[in-house]
Copies of this chain bind each other. A is one copy, B any other.
Amino acid sequence: MTQKRTFTILILSACAFLMAQAQDYTIYVNPFIGTQTDETGALSGSTFPGATMPQGMVQLSPETEQMVTWDPCSGYDYNKDKIYGFTHTHLSGTGCTDLFDVSLMPTSSEVTPEQLAAADFSQHYSHNAEEAHPGYYSVYLQESGVRAELSSTVRTGIHRYTFPEGKEQTIVLDLDRGTFRGQAYYSGRRSYDIIQSQLRIINDHTIEGYRVITGWAKLRKVYFRAEFSRPFNKRLLMDGSRNAGKSDVVNGRTLRCALSFSPADSRHLTVKVAISPVDVEGARKNMKAEASSWQFDAYTKAAHDCWEHELKRIEIEGTDEQKTIFYTGLYHVLMQPNTMSDVDGRYMDTNYEIKQMPAGQTYHSTFSLWDTFRAAHPLYTLIAPEVASQFVRDMILHHKTYGYLPIWDLWGQENYCMIGNHAIPVVADAILANLPGINVEEAYQAMIESSTRTHLNSPFEIWEQYGYMPQTLQNTSVSITLEQCFDDACVAAVAKKLGRMEDYERFHRRSLFYRNLFDPTTGFFRPKDEKGEWIEGFDPLSYEQPCFVEGNAWQYMWFVPHDPQGLISLFGGEKPFLKKLDENFSLTATSGEINGNASGFIGQYAHGNEPSHHTVYLYNFAGRPERTQELVHQVRTEFYRATPCGYAGNDDCGQMSAWYIFSSLGFYPFHAGSAEYVLGTPLFQRATLHMANGKDFIITAKNKTPERIYVKKVRLNGKPLKGFTLTHQQIVDGGTLEFTMK
């Protein structure tokens, strides 16, 4: 509901509205970008090509795997040639996998009990007979000859199946698909299993049910209601190999049904599947509110229009390839965080209680914060403040029930994936940017408590006692030390703004603890034990140092975004700092280890994973902005392509995309959470940001050609810009940013 109001507000921005009449930005979105691993098999955006609305609860997409284990975590690999089913929930770009609820798959033959028990209805497909654009996906399934088309509302998946003339028409609904079972390697979880599920035939065109499942999200309850446009005249209901016979309800853990439709009636079958994380009544209400019609094309058009309103928040002038990368990126950024409340506002909180949002408000989840605090959340704050403030409100709700702000919030629950407390920069950004709708006192309280209440991977007594994380007391101690300093700096900045000077002093002091792990002898951040001694066996190239997470000492060396001058001075000034930074981008030596997370290399710089993302902008702080400009150009040219393997690593819920969007506009949230940006180099001759307040911020690049990547001068609203920093306020006030290229 709020979703729709948001779009309305945007439509009222007259300028954007009028321009939107002339342009269609959805044509530049290629949902296949990021779905393919490259020739080495190592890199994948892990995105999915299916149909979704912005922040959709339902994200309806095909799986190319019988059981999804790791890569791609989205369930779809462009290199595979078979589709196993269409499920209603997915993660985009993550490095762990979960969801895949309520699978539908059509066949054009009768399904026997033995076949249903075997549960493999996979069929070949070809990319030539596959199509995807925002809110629409379609594929031709070769064995059955069925064309499958998918669309979606926020909480309801819409399917249209076109069967070949005169053939059987069967739909297999599988509640046991998409998950691998058994030991899970995810933080804190041991088993990954369906706890219980139900399928119930309501009448000859309606099925309801649910599954309760434990996995990466510790406990998910997914209720659904499926309505079919035509009556089924036969149905087979089974739990594993147990046939439920004439029973119209089956309970168990491996539930499937096969529904047969009369070929004489029509070749077309439309199916609507609404889901709810609360109860089946929630699913019914969601369908009633969002999907009362049977007009498949109307859903496709509504989804298209909705995406169009979203995408035109930023208008660029560029080549078709640039627009494709840019708008697909924006699409990937805006897919999540996902809607987690029903239309009636009910949701399951972090403590598994059912709660009620105030009327008209929506609760969200999927906060991949170790990734997205860097650029995705700053992008929400900048171009979609009305949803950004909802995300912050939802993080504060998470804090209220759970005790601290989310680390990685999936399906409304904490899974502790990765490290740090990187909701803090997001909340800080919201406060410093004066986002409307934020309860600043509550937000500040949440930041403070999340920075002082010891929790998993955040032992704050140890932090304050030692002034660093001793590796002997806390694993991944160097990474945590660096990232915690950054979070602390964000708290300090907000404390200062609010005049809480005691807090400011405490957190500012903490934000400098990174210095205690810098070893001037080796010129790296290194792990210490609790006696303060360096731990031996340090190898800066190695990815298997337990003091780092998903990176080596080179990649983590630069993570002091809140105090670059302090970092420079650790090296003894700009010159030695620049020598080391240059080496970072040129040293091609490797430890020989295979690391699934580091990819997209320029020397030790690894664009394929997040710790590097701000690093190219560091040259600005040491007087060499042209090197930043070169590297920004190199990264966006080499590591982004308008092809299915267009990303250099996981898109990570839009972070990889958000880097591109900022970096092609010409600035980047180097210090996320500060409501400030540093300059890079623009890619487009002209870009317009339609702010939510109705104002436009227009970025132009004079003399821009593909070859001209260096910035000669910059004027803000006609006056020379001092320094290389742009504030959030300067942008949202509207105006012009004129680059002149050389």
A residues with a Cβ closer than 8 A to B are 188, 190-191, 193, 195-196, 198, 200, 210, 212, 214, 218-219, 221, 223, 239, 242-253, 278-281, 351-354, 402-404, 413-414, 452-456, 459-462
- Are B251 and A455 in contact, CB atoms less than 8 angstroms apart? yes
- A246 contact set on B, CB distance < 8 A: 452-454, 460-461
Contacting pair B403 A247 (CB below 8 A): yes
With a cutoff of 8 Å between Cβ atoms, the chain B residues found around residue A453 in the complex are 244, 246-249
Q: Which residue of B lies closest to A249 (CB)?
A: B403
Given contacts A210-B352, A242-B456, A279-B353, 9 further A-B contacts (CB under 8 A): A196-B352, A200-B403, A214-B214, A219-B219, A244-B453, A246-B454, A247-B453, A247-B455, A280-B351
Q: Quick one: given A190-B193, A352-B212, are A456 and B252 in contact (CB under 8 Å)?
A: yes
Closest to A247 in B: B453
In whole angstroms, what is the CA distance A293 to B214 when docked? 40
Interface of A is mostly: mixed
A420 nearest CB across to chain B (Å): 17
- B460 and A245 contact, CB distance less than 8 A: yes
Closest 9 CB pairs of A and B: A249-B403, A245-B454, A247-B453, A279-B353, A245-B461, A247-B454, A191-B191, A196-B218, A195-B218
Given the complex, which residues of B lie within 8 Å of A193, measured CB to CB?
190-191
Q: Which residues on the B side are within 8 Å of A253 (C-beta)?
A: 188
Q: Can you spell out 27 A-B residue pairs with CB atoms less than 8 angstroms apart?
A: A190-B193, A191-B193, A195-B214, A195-B218, A196-B218, A198-B351, A212-B219, A214-B214, A219-B219, A221-B352, A223-B353, A242-B456, A242-B459, A244-B454, A245-B459, A246-B452, A246-B461, A247-B452, A247-B453, A248-B403, A249-B453, A250-B403, A251-B402, A251-B403, A251-B455, A280-B351, A281-B353
Docked-complex contact B354 and A243, CB < 8 angstroms: no
Q: B414 contacts A251, CB within 8 Å?
A: yes
Which chain B residue has the least Cβ–Cβ distance from A461? B245
| Cα distance, A75 to B73, chains bound together (Å) | 43
Choose one: B191, B200, B252, B455; the contact of A250 (CB below 8 Å). Answer: B455
Which residues of chain B have C-beta atoms less than 8 A from A251's C-beta?
Answer: 402-403, 414, 455-456
Question: In the complex, what residues of B have CB within 8 A of residue A403's CB?
Answer: 198, 200, 247-251
Complex CA–CA separation, A662 to B515 (angstroms): 80
Q: Which residues of B contact A219 (CB under 8 A)?
A: 195-196, 212, 219
Q: Are A354 and B354 in contact (CB-based, < 8 A)?
A: yes
Given contacts A251-B402, A414-B251, contact A456 B354 (CB under 8 A): no
Check A252 against B188 for contact (C-beta < 8 Å). yes
Residue of B nearest to A239 (CB): B456
CA distance in complex: A249, B460 (Å): 13
Query: In the complex, what residues of B have CB within 8 A of residue A456's CB?
Result: 239, 242, 251-252
Chain B neighbourhood of A218, CB < 8 A = 195-196, 212
Q: Which residue of B lies closest to A279 (CB)?
A: B353
Contacts of A404 in B (CB 8 A): 249
